[in-house]
Amino acid sequence: MEDNEQRTGGINAVYSEMETLSRRAVARTRRMSAPLSFVEHSLLTFIGTTPGCRATDIAADFQLNRSTISRQLTTLGELGLVEYTPQENDAGRGRVLRLTERGRQLRERSVAAQRSVVTSRLKEWSEEDIAAFAAALGRFNAGPEG
Amino acid sequence: MEDNEQRTGGINAVYSEMETLSRRAVARTRRMSAPLSFVEHSLLTFIGTTPGCRATDIAADFQLNRSTISRQLTTLGELGLVEYTPQENDAGRGRVLRLTERGRQLRERSVAAQRSVVTSRLKEWSEEDIAAFAAALGRFNAGPEG
DNA sequence: GGTTAGTGTTGCATAATGCAACACATGTCC
DNA sequence: GGACATGTGTTGCATTATGCAACACTAACC
């Protein structure tokens, strides 16, 4: 835990850039994911990539009230994008969510549009730089809870 | 623009990790920036780091309606966090915003709390890795519009 | 000076969110 | 097995956030 200046400066830079990145990502989702809102898009992604997740898990991860998630899921359910998996015997409390085929398709379309923006921003990057960047992002996301 | 598989895979990974990163950043801000919302926190940061910015610039960047920004700024103004700079002769249209001393302090407190989470996640990273990560994030953010 | 275009504000409607209370299901303990 | 505790999802109600349209005001333009 050597707390030298260079390390602190690097951390500050990382945080600052991440705040910019996140603000722009939210704005981009607002612009490009219509008619999905940022939270709705995040719901589809989370459900699609978190097998076995329940509404309360989402609420904890998103830091939103359970009632908010419940209502959002009701909406997505009425749109035919999300559904409850049939009850299984070994299922614990709560109900397990999953995407419908339509949900997968809609999310894939939204992702493709936003990914094109990322592709454009990485236009001048070498293959190695892209791989290193992806690895660093993955390492950060997989890191210890803070 | 050689479009080989490895490059595409890297870009997909970058996008996927960024979506996770942004979702968590928004959740973290919800949890740690109280009583500031994510948008309010973003407003303070944007105004603090974008000299000469006006309400309409924020609306364009955040992809939110001007009326929404106007009301949010009214609230932040009543809280004594944001103010209009006195009219200058060479000022163009609109009114230029800036943080008050209280606004700077409140934002700094909020940033410090969130930055500690980033610090914790980078605990095992070498100084060089942190510097490289910060550089890559900066390069990405500074890249061409998409 | 008159016109055009950009900026910020407000009324109204809608969507998103939180809190509290509740019903229901699951787990625990005896 | 039954009583109790705990977790999950839903709904009523209030508050806040957001969008759209209309407006007033101001700066730019010819």
ipTM above 0.90, yes or no: yes
The number of residues making up chain B comes to 146
Chain centroid offset of residue B89 CA? 30
Q: What pairs with residue B97 in β-bridges?
A: B84
CATH number (1.10.10.10, 3.40.228.10, 1.10.287.70, 1.20.1090.10) of A33-137 reads 1.10.10.10
Task: Please identify which residue in the block is written with the tokens 């009114």.
Answer: B95
User: In sequence order, what DSSP letters do the residues of B65-81 get, joined into one string?
Assistant: -HHHHHHHHHHHHHTTS
CB-contacted nucleotides of strand D (7 Å): 7-12, 16-22, 26-28
d(CA B104, CA B101): 5
Instruction: Strand C: list positions under 7 Å from protein Cβ.
Output: 6-11, 15-21, 25-27
Domain B33-135 CATH (choose: 3.30.420.480, 1.10.10.10, 3.40.50.2000, 1.20.950.20): 1.10.10.10
Q: Which residues of chain A neighbour B120 with C-beta distances below 8 Å?
A: 144-146
Instruction: Give the closest of A13, A45, A132 to B19, CB-based.
Output: A45
Residue B135 corresponds to which tokens in the numbers above?
Answer: 């550089």
Q: What are the pLDDT digits (tens) for B14-72? A: 999 999 999 999 999 999 998 899 999 999 999 999 999 999 999 999 999 999 999 99
Nucleotide nearest to A36 (CA to C1'): C15
Cα B31–chain centre separation? 16
Q: What's the pLDDT tens digit per position in A27-42?
A: 999 999 988 999 999 9
Of residues 61 to 100 in chain A, which lie within 7 A of strand D by their beta carbon?
66-67, 70-71, 73-74, 93-95
Distance A145 CA to C6 C1' (A): 47
Listed in sequence order, the DSSP H helices in chain A are 5-32, 38-49, 55-62, 66-78, 101-121, 127-142
pLDDT tens profile B97-130: 999 999 999 999 999 999 999 999 999 999 999 9
> What is the residue extent of each domain of chain A?
33-137
